[in-house]
A and B are shown apart, each in its own frame.
Chain A
Amino acid sequence: MLARPRQPARFINDTKQQKHMHGPVAPDTQSDDTLFETLIATAVDGIMVIDERGTVQVYNKACERLFQYSAAEVVGQNVNMLMPAPYRAEHDGYLDRYRTSGEARIIGIGREARGQRKNGTEFPLYLSVGQGMLDGKRIFVGIVHDLTQIKAETAAREEQRGVMASIIEASNDAIISKTLDGTVTSWNAAATRIFGYTAQEIIGKPIAILFPPDLVDEEATILAKLANGESIQHYETVRRRKDGSHIDISLTVSPLLDNSGKVVGASKTARDITERKTAEARLQMLQNELTHVARLSEMGQFSAALAHELNQPLTAVLNYVNVAKRLLVSPNADSPAKTYETIAKAGQQAQRAAQIIRRMRDFVEKRDSKRTIEDVNKIAADAIALGLVGAKIANIKMHTIFASHAPAVLVDKVQIQQLLVNLLRNAAEAMAESPKRELTLSTNTIDDTAVEISVADTGPGISDEVAKRLFEPFVTTKAGGMGIGLAISQSIVEAHGGQLRMTPNRGGGTIFHFRLPAAPGME
């Protein structure tokens, strides 16, 4: 209910004021009066009227709720009882000054102030004050809007922002934002640590100053992706520090959207992966050594054993043939019989050599009893991990194009891995001198019975002459090679019911491809 002041407070407009200047409320103004009182009573904001001495004339329901004082406690009292120190003490002074000099601090405008509840607690409020004349006397009308909620929300937001800011500042990863044209807009402490530029130095500058000269076109690719709303996750690349040195980083870039969802910039986190890279390089070096040693001893042992095995019959064949040649020109009577016998022995030794080769092939083929159902893409990925340890150092770009729904294959996993490792290493070695070094391993679903794997390089390619005999043992283009790898590889593919084929790579290089049988009846 509206608290009635000792004097009715009426201040709607001058004419009304005139009407209500004196006496009781006239019947014809009844509805206006009711409207006015209802308005005051139902307003959510506190409404009060004070006279020029600061005495409260009107104090509505909302005020009671805000200040916890009832109207009876406030009306007729100095309004400064609703104010905390120091306003309480100063308020009378304001009124005096305004009265004498007309200097307004708040009148006609509004400002944030603080109120004090009956229990002594304070709350933030927005107070707007208007002035008017009532019964020839100046009155002030104050509207009090409670800011507690808004202030609390703002404070929470500020706090959150503060927390976010300290998280960003404390992050070990560089966190950077930039506009879509690549201008840096924010830069955290880790960014300074990683790249050497302070926030002051780089904000407003193009992000491109972080790019090594050979990677400047990377930014265009990144920006194009961002413009499509795509993000870039853990992209490993190289950036340049202020001092010109290079740093390995892992980059995650996400688009920054405005309220309408439009891409307006990008946030970037960059992780210094130098340490990891160093560790990786060390590991790789160790693995290299190990692989090298293992390969040397494995291939060395194999080829030495094979060479020794084949050398024995070969030595014998040569000896027998030499003996036979001498016997043919010998005048001895028994030499034709001896010649025949010697040549027969030479033939036996040639057979023995052939037997050794056959045994070697059997050895390869016998192992195919261990057929299991395998994921072709996984075998391929493993082969890359196993086979290209050294190739990474030789600066080879590895591409993989894996069939997305390749059927499972029924293969000897180890053999196929060995075969792929062999093909990958061959390809890497073939490209050692090439200006362009790109190795592509792809898997391709042919139909539900077969998957094709191909290994493509951008090396010098293989001459027609060598190509014709490529899969024969001991044919090689490699300086120190035995020429056994492809023969064994072919045996492995044949054992899986396929053919290892070689075709020239368009634009230079060679593609080796073969098919593997899909596992039957897998639903």
Chain B
Amino acid sequence: MGLTIDLVDDDEAVRDSLRALLESYGYNVRDYASAVLYLQRGTDPPGDCMIVDHHMPEMTGLELLESLRSHGGHIPAIMLTGRYDPSLDPRIAQAQVVALLHKPVDDEQLFQAIERACDKNGRTA
């Protein structure tokens, strides 16, 4: 059975296209249009790994991860960003981000990162 990826991105086109791409590779995808919606998903257990966009209104991807980590969440995370801000590096490391990928994301890099992330979680694609 396929692995489940939680996808959080506020841009509908990015979300939709990434979902289609991941599904074409056989992953199950649960997508969320904001960090808040992800936190409000209820009792659903977390996926095998998550892909989260950093630049989102209301709550950034990094803030989401920091919130998860502070509540003992260990889900491996890949972070996407459209603009790189080196001052965030320490926080990104602290939030145990497996890979920081720059948009537009190279698909090979993305799948390598997903494999690494899922390995971490003891699951293989």
Contact = CB atoms under 8 A, between A and B. Distances in A.
A and B: interacting chains: yes
Interface of A: 304, 307-308, 311-320, 322-323, 326-327, 330, 342, 345-346, 348-349, 352
Contacts of A304: 83
Contacts of B18: 315-316, 319
Closest 8 CB pairs of A and B: A319-B17, A308-B82, A316-B13, A311-B103, A311-B82, A316-B17, A315-B104, A304-B83
B107 interface: yes
Q: Which of A312, A327, A349 has the most CB of B within 10 A?
A: A312
Contacts of B107: 318-319, 322
A326 B13 CA distance: 19
B33 interface: no
B93 interface: no
Interface of A is mostly: helix
A387 B107 CA distance: 43
Nearest to A325: B24
30 contacts: A307-B82, A308-B83, A311-B82, A311-B103, A312-B11, A312-B13, A314-B103, A315-B17, A315-B18, A315-B104, A315-B105, A316-B11, A316-B14, A317-B17, A317-B104, A318-B17, A319-B14, A319-B18, A319-B107, A320-B21, A322-B21, A322-B24, A322-B107, A323-B17, A323-B24, A326-B24, A326-B25, A330-B24, A345-B16, A352-B13
A312 B21 contact: no
Contacts of A320: 17, 20-21
Contacts of A345: 13, 16-17
Contacts of B14: 312, 315-316, 319
A349 B11 CA distance: 11
B55 interface: yes
Q: How large is the interface on B (under 10, 10 to 19, 20 to 34, 35 or more residues)?
A: 10 to 19
A328 to B, nearest CB: 11
Contacts of B55: 308
Contacts of A346: 17
Q: Which of B17, B18, B80 has the most CB of A within 10 A?
A: B17
Contacts of A327: 24
A352 B11 CA distance: 12
A315 to B, nearest CB: 4
Contacts, number: 69
A315 B20 CA distance: 13
Contact of A313 (B13, B20, B25): B13
A184 B104 CA distance: 73
Nearest to A349: B13
A356 to B, nearest CB: 12
A33 B13 CA distance: 134
A323 B21 contact: yes
A332 to B, nearest CB: 10
A252 B17 CA distance: 73
Contacts of B82: 307-308, 311-312
B114 to A, nearest CB: 14
Interface string B88-123: 000000000000000111010000000000000000
Interface in B2-21: 11, 13-14, 16-18, 20-21
Contacts of A319: 14, 17-18, 20-21, 105, 107
Contacts of A330: 24
Nearest to B84: A304
A318 B105 contact: yes
A315 B104 CA distance: 4
A316 B107 CA distance: 11
A445 B14 CA distance: 53
Contacts of A314: 103-104
A314 B80 CA distance: 14
A323 B83 CA distance: 25
Contacts of B16: 316, 345
Contacts of A322: 21, 24, 107
A238 B83 CA distance: 48
A304 B104 CA distance: 14
Contact of B104 (A311, A323, A342): A311
Q: Which of A313, A315, A323, A352 has the most CB of B within 10 A?
A: A315
A346 B21 CA distance: 12
A317 B13 CA distance: 9
B51 to A, nearest CB: 12
Given A312-B11, A316-B18, A319-B17, 8 more contacts: A307-B83, A311-B82, A312-B82, A312-B103, A315-B17, A318-B105, A323-B17, A348-B13
